[in-house]
Every structure is written in C-alpha cells, then in structure tokens.
Amino acid sequence: MLLIDEATKTGETTSEGKKYIRGDEWFLDGHFPGNPVVPGVILCEMMAQSSAVIIAEVSAKSTPYFTGIDKAKFRNKVLPGDTFEIQCELIKSRGAFYFIKGKGYVDGKLCCSAEFSFALVERE
C-alpha cells in the first residue's frame, strides 16, 4: 500500500517525500462524513514510507518492520487539495534497528511530527 507520490534521498541521513491529496483516497471515506481529513495514522505511514529511501541500501535484502512510533503530534489538518510535504532524518542506528524523525508540512505549516523505529529483518 504505497501512500506517497515521491520520495528522494537528500543527504546521507535525510529524505523528503510528497503526497498530493486528491480527495478520492480510500482513507478519506468516512473520516469524517462531509468533512474529509487525512487520518493521523495515515500521515505517520506517509512519513515512514518517505524515510525508507534513507535505509534503502542497507535494507535491499531485508524488510523494514515498524517497531515503534514515539512523540507523535498532530498540529494542523491535512485536507483534499493539499500537498503534504515530508522531511525525514535518521537519528541513529543500532544493529538492525533504525530510528528516524519525521515532520509533515502543508504550505510551510507543520502539520505533524513523530519518531519511528524500524527493525530490518532479512527475507528468506
């Protein structure tokens, strides 16, 4: 379930992503009737997907599984017609675990932020 339109590695430990919210996305159905707002859990998944390019080289033969979401904060709504712009940064890595900070913006206004952890599990 790819939720972003683009993701680019911008540095050794950073990435950016974008999602153009059209208004016909499945996750807007019923959230909320007559007042569509992108759910916070979807915004977190978009940020996590945008961060995947940071660890793409080390995860080529592995699957990155979520192990945690910390310090998630939601400040402004993301609505149909918005362009959700994401910035991610690798905070640290320890063995198979990677810790990433993400922030999501619309028109330069911070909408959400969170810290994610992933474990890279080798594919069989």
Six token digits for residue 36 = 């569509």
Contact 116, 48 (CB under 8 A): yes
To the query of whether residue 31 is one of the catalytic residues in this protein, the response is yes
Give the pairing of strands 14-20 and 6-9: antiparallel
Contact 59, 120 (CB under 8 A): yes
Query: Which run of H or E residues covers position 42?
Result: helix 40-51
Catalytic residue among 8, 11, 23, 31: 31
Catalytically annotated residues: 31
